[in-house]
Structure 1
Amino acid sequence: MTGPSPAERLVDLLNLEEIDLNIFRGRSPHESLQRVFGGQVAGQALVAAGRTVDEERPVHSLHAYFLRPGIPGVPIVYQVERVRDGRSFTTRRVVAVQQGRTIFNLTASFHVREPGFEHQMPMPRVPEPESLPQLADEIRERLGSLPVPLERMARRQAFDLRYVDRLRWSPSELEGVEPRSAVWMRAIGSLGDDPLVHTCALTYASDMTLLDAVRLPVEPLWGPRNFDTASLDHAMWFHRPFRADEWFLYQQESPIATGARGLARGQIFDREGRLIVSVMQEGLFRPHSPERQASPAQQPQGQAATQ
């Protein structure tokens, strides 16, 4: 008898408990990470906001700040403020609280569907996802096998990740590398048919790899880390309906890094080339001493977390 699929576990993670009017509680799984994954908090907060809005008003944007690191294994309470219910737009503010302290806040805007003119930038030409190796397989190919913590994490990973460019493993491979990265993603298994679940699942995934583009010119995507990294803020604009359990391309680039902060922007396209989501995020990059550098087994790639 098999257990739930990774996608089913993600849906369960996003299924918040309503404990009072406008107050929800979310699980925070026990993980080997030092902090709660930032995408989890953002996804759960958006679920809380969406639960207070009519279904005919999908979310069109969110703006959020990561204020304190979340503690794995400790429930998170999401308090929703109903800021505005207009004729076309609805606004919600969400505060995430853990052990009496605010760790995250989010403002989300919802908009009734309206007709209008259209244009978009084209999707870049990249290989099809089926022609690229799964992230875990690419790591196994290099290391021979996955370290036990990563093998466990790979089995629970909710998304299939396939990088367009092969991972770089050493500083010698970084010469001339531009601050850009692209990765195909899709949830591993069905997420059901609730559009809010797909929106919040993609919000979860949007924090997994976006800061890769900032790091690329200075350290490999895999291997010992030279920086303590944390997500500072996060913004998303949702342009079209989509399914997060179908392939989408996450194109990422970093226009600037300075003052221990790096800015990353992302464009998410569906397989037909339609731009479905735009993303912006700033991250903290503090250099640390060599003795604090973590081994690959301690620093799994693609695990951005709150500061």
Structure 2
Amino acid sequence: MSEALEDLLALLDLERIDRDIFRGTSRPSLVPRVFGGQVAAQALVAAGRTVPADRPPHSLHAYFLRPGDPGAPIVYTVDRIRDGLSFTTRRVVGVQHGRPIFHLSASFQQVEDGLEHQAEMPAAPDPLTLPTTEEMLAQHADRFPDPTVPSRLAAARAAVDLRYVADPPFVSAGQVREPRSRVWFRTNGKLAGAHDDPLLHVCLVTYVSDMTLLDSILLAHGRGGWVIGDVVGASLDHAMWFHRPFRADEWLLYDQESPSSSGSRGLGQGRIYTADGRLAVSVIQEGLIRTPRAPRRP
């Protein structure tokens, strides 16, 4: 297990300060706010710790209300909305400085058998034939106006082995492409012992799901993103449906596309497949996408 993954697991190991109240810390961020995937994953940890282990999460719906302060703890309060015969529902609010910054609703279900079908997994090259994020950033370091960004971006993603199938937006800025992006990912190390917990695997994929989902929007407009400085963006809401079991430490293909962008908002949707072709997760997110305004003339 990499040191970065150990740090991420510690980040998700929330402190329980009361029956339904948890406290989490943050890690340094590339932007002056808490990474949205971290808040979503921590909130799901808090919800999951109030639910029997035989009821895994099957969906979550969340809103990012305010930018999180990376220098302050986040307190998560869990509301036990419903405990039914088959389903359990939890509501979680993340609070900093006395104000809510995040809201999550999550539903959990007893494992059942039922009708089965799924969308077919798209073709993708073997992930081991693709460059790592660190290698890719080193190859294209000259693309970044700020020379510190490649090392900071690599450090922020060091807990995850993430490999792009095609050039990401910050490499292909200026080229208008199909609004579709695919990445392979897995944790940078195996989960074993106390860490080999089904809920933790789900929370880790929730964490990663916010890393690249808006890339397809940028590709449709030839934009490189905040790392290039040609857009300003932030996650607005996030929804996930967990269809089939998976492991976060085994390769997963994240197939992402954008059907629409308008009104300074863009919609990204994704499907996460296991390496053997099972559709494991569906994801939808709307993000704020603004182009920086030119400075006013004196």
Q: Please give the TM-score of this superposition, normalised by the length of structure 1.
A: 0.89
Show the counterpart of 1:235.
239
Show the counterpart of 1:141.
139
Deviation at 1:226, TM superposition (A): 2.0
Structure 2: which amino acid aligns with 1:225?
Answer: G
Match of 2:186, SS state, is strand
Question: How far apart, in 2, do the equivalents of 1:18 and 1:159 lie?
Answer: 26
Aligned-residue identity in percent: 56
Question: How far apart, in 1, do the equivalents of 2:54 and 2:278 lie?
Answer: 22
1:14-33 alignment, distance < 5 Å: 14-33=12-31
Deviation at 1:148, TM superposition (A): 4.1
Corresponding residue to 2:56 among 51, 55, 58: 58
Asked if the contact 1:5/1:189 (under 8 Å) is kept, the reply is: no
> For the structure 1 residues 218 and 113, does the alpha-carbon distance in structure 2 shift closer, same or farther, using more than 3 Å as the test?
same
Structure 2: which amino acid aligns with 1:119?
Answer: H
The worse-fitting range, judged by mean Cα deviation, of 144-153 and 26-35 is 144-153
Deviation at 1:143, TM superposition (A): 2.5
> For the structure 1 residues 116 and 170, does the alpha-carbon distance in structure 2 shift closer, same or farther, using more than 3 Å as the test?
closer
Asked if the contact 1:33/1:72 (under 8 Å) is kept, the reply is: no
Deviation at 1:228, TM superposition (A): 1.2
Gaps spanning 5+ residues in structure 2: where? Answer: none
Question: How far apart, in 2, do the equivalents of 1:155 and 1:231 lie?
Answer: 21
Query: C-alpha deviations, 1:147-167, integer Å up to 9, x for none?
Result: 445325424521111111123
> For the structure 1 residues 171 and 42, does the alpha-carbon distance in structure 2 shift closer, same or farther, using more than 3 Å as the test?
closer
Structure 2: which amino acid aligns with 1:159?
Answer: V
Question: How far apart, in 2, do the equivalents of 1:216 and 1:109 lie?
Answer: 33
1:258 maps onto 2:259 in alignment: no
| Larger RCO of the pair (alpha carbons < 8 Å, separation 6+) | 1
Match of 1:173, SS state, is coil
Show the counterpart of 1:299.
none
> For the structure 1 residues 6 and 135, does the alpha-carbon distance in structure 2 shift closer, same or farther, using more than 3 Å as the test?
same
1:107-146 alignment, distance < 5 Å: 107-143=105-141
Query: C-alpha deviations, 1:239-278, integer Å up to 9, x for none?
Result: 1111111110000000111111111110000000000000
Show the counterpart of 2:181.
181
Corresponding residue to 1:245 among 246, 249, 252: 249
1:150-229 alignment, distance < 5 Å: 150-155=150-155, 157-167=158-168, 169=171, 171-174=173-176, 177-191=177-191, 192-221=195-224, 224-229=228-233
Match of 1:41, SS state, is helix
Question: How far apart, in 1, do the equivalents of 2:65 and 2:101 lie?
Answer: 5
Question: How many residue pairs end up in the alignment?
Answer: 288
RMSD (Å) for aligned C-alpha atoms: 2.0
Question: How far apart, in 1, do the equivalents of 2:74 and 2:88 lie?
Answer: 24
Match of 1:252, SS state, is strand
Asked if the contact 1:48/1:80 (under 8 Å) is kept, the reply is: yes
The worse-fitting range, judged by mean Cα deviation, of 5-14 and 160-169 is 160-169
Show the counterpart of 1:268.
272
Match of 1:81, SS state, is strand
Structure 1: which amino acid aligns with 2:282?
Answer: S
Corresponding residue to 1:72 among 49, 70, 73: 70
Question: How far apart, in 1, do the equivalents of 2:172 and 2:49 lie?
Answer: 45
Query: C-alpha deviations, 1:14-42, integer Å up to 9, x for none?
Result: 00000011000001123342110000000
> For the structure 1 residues 102 and 11, does the alpha-carbon distance in structure 2 shift closer, same or farther, using more than 3 Å as the test?
same
The worse-fitting range, judged by mean Cα deviation, of 97-106 and 189-198 is 189-198
> For the structure 1 residues 32 and 280, does the alpha-carbon distance in structure 2 shift closer, same or farther, using more than 3 Å as the test?
closer
Asked if the contact 1:36/1:69 (under 8 Å) is kept, the reply is: yes
